[in-house]
Copies of this chain bind each other. A is one copy, B any other.
Amino acid sequence: MLKVLKFGGTSVGTLDRIQNVAEIIKKIKDEGHNVIAVVSAMSGETNKLIEYAEHYTKSPVANEMDMLLSSGERVTSALLSIALNAQGYKATSMSGRQAGIVTDNAHTKARIESIDTANMKNALNDGNIIIVAGFQGIAEDGRVSTLGRGGSDLTAVAIAGAIEADVCEIYTDVDGIYTTDPRIEPKAKKLEKISYDEMLELASLGAKVLQNRSVEMAKKLNVNLVSRSSFTPEVEGTLITKEENIMEQPVVSGIALDKNQVRVGMYGVTDRPGIASAIFTALADANINVDMIVQTVGVDGKTDLDFTIPTTDWETCKKVMEKFKSEAENIDYNETICKVSIVGVGMKSHTGVASKAFTALASENINIRIISTSEIKISMIIEEKYAELAVRALHDAYELDK
């Protein structure tokens, strides 16, 4: 098998942890597999370099930031290769450029345009373990580029897709995807398999583990992703794959919780054509990610508009809403809410999933403020103080611990 492995900043955070990663790679190599390992910078390094740059300006030029930040991954890749070679394993490090990763010119948030795998294939044919400096490529302008947050995961997934690897294993300090956050519900179970779409909907469960950008790319390139831990490499992780590869699909796979939501209420809006469109266009133009929207038309011809936004966009949102103040009797913001979501591809073919959720919450006297549903997800806005109780109630209701 050809395996692409990715080790994040925590997994390579110290010299001893890099040695630990070398042990994982050696074991896989000894089992007869070919290995391409993608590495992040040692944890803390990238932030240190950003602080260095900010000593001079709050807005350093983007292409120089890439020259600066790309150095951290290069250091890790060289150290890991040195460790492997020292133990008699043939390994070679590669920068993004050497790995053939070409990006656009959007420095600090570049997108991968193509991967020329020739250099990697030659190195594999020569029996090398390849260690790729993640998070970076070479832009069309000939300069080094970086891929932004989650860039090393993206590097790994893109390489796995381009070179048609059998699997892309993302090693972090978490050993897989759970039915819900185990810190909230100790009975949470690790999932053996999950589909790309479920994973995308369960983002909050995997946020620290897998970024949506990588899962989306894995889905697009049909890459089998595995989330597992470099601290307990003996534990099998969770396979994220296409729906067809999951034989027995549970109705509900997991319960996600998102506390970083603000509910925006716009009450007594005089209902005229185009008003909702104007508001949401303005919010979109300000790059605000509006999540759930509910519109209620009252008997008096007035409309109430409720929607949620991420807490980080709150200040920006207030500024945008200022323009629409005259349109409504009242605009208020409520951050003491949270979003609980039930995700499962099985919902498509099962009925009664939603009503089970409503019943579970009702039996705990939890009021649902907003509901929105998609093919594989039911999201509910509730008061934040009930967050953990709701998660546990739903986890029980769908018997996810079984």
Q: How many residues of A contact B (CB 8 A)?
A: 36
Chain A positions 269 through 287: 1 when the CB is less than 8 Å from some CB of chain B, otherwise 0: 0000000000000000000
Chain A positions 111 through 126: 1 when the CB is less than 8 Å from some CB of chain B, otherwise 0: 0000000010000000
Q: State in angstroms the CA–CA spacing of A75 and B69 once bound together.
A: 8
Say yes or no: A57 contacts B86, CB within 8 Å. Answer: yes
The distance from the CB of A102 to the nearest CB of chain B, in whole angstroms, is 16
**How many copies, total?**
2
- Candidates B60, B78, B81; contact of A86 at CB < 8 Å: B60
Among listed A48-56, A240-248, A383-391, interface-contacting one: A48-56
Interface membership of A71, Cβ < 8 A: yes
Say yes or no: B55 contacts A98, CB within 8 Å. Answer: no
The distance from the CB of A8 to the nearest CB of chain B, in whole angstroms, is 19
Interface membership of A61, Cβ < 8 A: yes
Q: From A54, which residue of chain B is reached at the shortest CB distance?
A: B82
- Candidates B15, B49, B86, B143; contact of A52 at CB < 8 Å: B15
Say yes or no: B61 contacts A98, CB within 8 Å. Answer: no
The distance from the CB of A129 to the nearest CB of chain B, in whole angstroms, is 12
Residues of B within 8 A of A53 (CB): 78-79, 82
Q: State in angstroms the CA–CA spacing of A61 and B93 once bound together.
A: 11
The distance from the CB of A57 to the nearest CB of chain B, in whole angstroms, is 4
Interface membership of A83, Cβ < 8 A: yes
Known contacts: A56-B86, A143-B98. The answer to whether A68 contacts B64 by CB under 8 A is: no
Q: State in angstroms the CA–CA spacing of A92 and B68 once bound together.
A: 12
Interface membership of A142, Cβ < 8 A: yes
Q: State in angstroms the CA–CA spacing of A49 and B72 once bound together.
A: 12
Q: State in angstroms the CA–CA spacing of A349 and B147 once bound together.
A: 66
- Candidates B70, B72, B82, B98; contact of A65 at CB < 8 Å: B82
Q: State in angstroms the CA–CA spacing of A83 and B65 once bound together.
A: 11
Q: State in angstroms the CA–CA spacing of A309 and B79 once bound together.
A: 37
The distance from the CB of A207 to the nearest CB of chain B, in whole angstroms, is 30
Interface membership of A19, Cβ < 8 A: yes
Q: A67-B93, A68-B74, A95-B144 are in contact. List 4 more A-B contacts (CB 8 A).
A: A15-B52, A56-B82, A64-B92, A71-B71
Contacts A/B (CB < 8 Å), 28 sampled: A15-B52, A15-B55, A19-B55, A53-B78, A53-B82, A56-B82, A57-B83, A57-B85, A57-B86, A60-B82, A61-B82, A61-B85, A64-B78, A64-B82, A64-B93, A65-B78, A67-B74, A67-B93, A68-B75, A68-B79, A68-B82, A70-B74, A71-B71, A71-B74, A71-B78, A74-B74, A95-B144, A98-B143
**A residues neighboring B (CB under 8 Å):** 15, 19, 49, 52-53, 55-57, 60-61, 63-65, 67-68, 70-72, 74-75, 77-79, 81-83, 85-86, 92-93, 95, 98, 119, 142-144
